[in-house]
């Protein structure tokens, strides 16, 4: 008699089914998001040879971001690695940001990067240096 006054069992079943469907849909979205996040990692990589460029490209193709430190390779190899990664990044519509001397951030397509890192080397070049200081700096660091 109480159920007859406030509504039928059919309405309750419909509401319960809708709630159940929404919970199931939310669970699917949550699972998809968690799986997507499992694949998105930040990889730190210090190649020691040009031959390791393909491994970095594979990380990018698998939707991971990579910070590449090129200070352990020769200037010629560093240039070749950057050229190779530039092509990979173009192909996947990703991004390439210079973080510092010889350090780059490579990101896949859907990874936004906000902010800028300023290069202090411009300020130090403007200050007076002796020829010995300049020669020492050139030997210790590649002009990135």
Angle 127-133-136 from CA coordinates, rounded to 5°: 135
Give kind and range of the element (H or E) at residue 96.
strand 95-100
Give pLDDT, residue 139: 46
Strands 103-107, 65-69: pairing kind: antiparallel
Q: Reduce the DSSP state of residue 14 to 3 states and report it.
A: helix
Averaged pLDDT in 10-residue chunks for the chain of 144 residues:
57 69 64 56 95 96 96 96 96 94 94 82 55 51 58
CB count in 10 Å sphere of residue 66: 22
Distance, CA of 4 to CA of 102 (rounded, Å): 76
Give pLDDT, residue 3: 55
Q: Please return the burial class of 88, using the count of CB atoms within 10 Å of its CB with bins 0-12, 13-18 and 19+.
A: buried
Give pLDDT, residue 114: 85
Distance, CA of 43 to CA of 20 (rounded, Å): 39
Give pLDDT, residue 72: 95
Q: What is the pTM of this model?
A: 0.59
Give pLDDT, residue 94: 95
């Amino acid at each position: 008699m109480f159920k007859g006054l406030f509504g039928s069992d059919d309405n309750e079943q419909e509401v319960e089914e809708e709630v159940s469907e929404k919970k199931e849909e939310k669970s699917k979205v949550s699972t998809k998001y968690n799986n997507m996040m499992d694949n998105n990692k930040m990889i730190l990589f210090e190649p020691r040879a040009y031959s390791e460029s393909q491994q970095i490209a594979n990380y990018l193709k698998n939707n991971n971001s990579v910070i590449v430190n090129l200070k352990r390779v020769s200037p010629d190899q560093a240039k070749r690695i950057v050229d190779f990664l530039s092509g990979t990044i173009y192909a996947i519509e990703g991004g390439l940001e210079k973080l510092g001397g010889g350090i780059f951030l490579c990101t896949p397509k859907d990874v936004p990067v906000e902010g800028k890192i300023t290069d202090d080397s411009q300020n130090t070049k403007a200050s007076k240096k002796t020829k010995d200081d300049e020669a020492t700096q050139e030997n210790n660091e590649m002009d990135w």
